C-alpha cells in the first residue's frame, strides 16, 4: 500500500510533462509571419460559442440556462481544445 503513494507523484509529473516532447511550437503562416496556433483556436472557440448562443436564443433555451457566462466560456474552451487537438497535434 505504501508503494502506491510513492509512485503517485511520479505519475503526476510524467502526465504533466507529456506535452513537452515537441521540438517546435505549432504555428500558422499568415500574411508573411507566423502566428501561434492557440490564437487561431481561441478565436475559433469564441466564434463557435457565439454561434451556439445564437442557436440557443433561436431555440428559446438561453432563458432557462443557469450560469450563462460560465456555460458559454466552457463551450468556447471546449471548441478551442477540440480544434487544437484535431488539427495541430
Q: pLDDT for 6-39, tens place per residue?
A: 677 777 777 666 666 666 667 777 677 777 888 8
What pLDDT is stored for residue 2 in this prediction?
Answer: 55
How many C-beta atoms surround the C-beta of residue 68 within 10 A? 13
**Is the pTM here over 0.85, yes or no?**
no
Each residue's pLDDT tens digit, 54-77: 999 999 998 898 899 999 999 999
Q: 31: left (phi > 0), else alpha (psi -120 to 50), else beta?
A: left
pLDDT at 49: 96
pLDDT above 90 as % of the chain: 42
Residue scoring higher pLDDT (2 or 12) = 12
Helices H, strands E: what count in the chain? 3, 2
Amino acid at each position: 500500500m505504501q508503494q502506491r503513494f510513492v509512485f503517485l507523484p511520479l505519475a503526476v509529473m510524467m502526465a504533466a510533462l507529456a506535452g513537452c516532447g515537441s521540438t517546435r511550437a505549432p504555428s500558422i503562416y499568415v500574411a508573411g509571419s507566423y502566428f501561434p496556433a492557440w490564437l487561431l483556436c481561441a478565436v475559433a472557440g469564441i466564434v463557435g460559442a457565439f454561434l451556439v448562443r445564437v442557436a440557443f436564443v433561436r431555440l428559446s433555451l438561453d432563458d432557462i440556462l443557469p450560469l450563462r457566462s460560465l456555460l458559454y466560456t466552457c463551450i468556447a474552451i471546449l471548441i478551442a481544445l477540440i480544434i487544437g487537438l484535431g488539427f495541430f497535434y
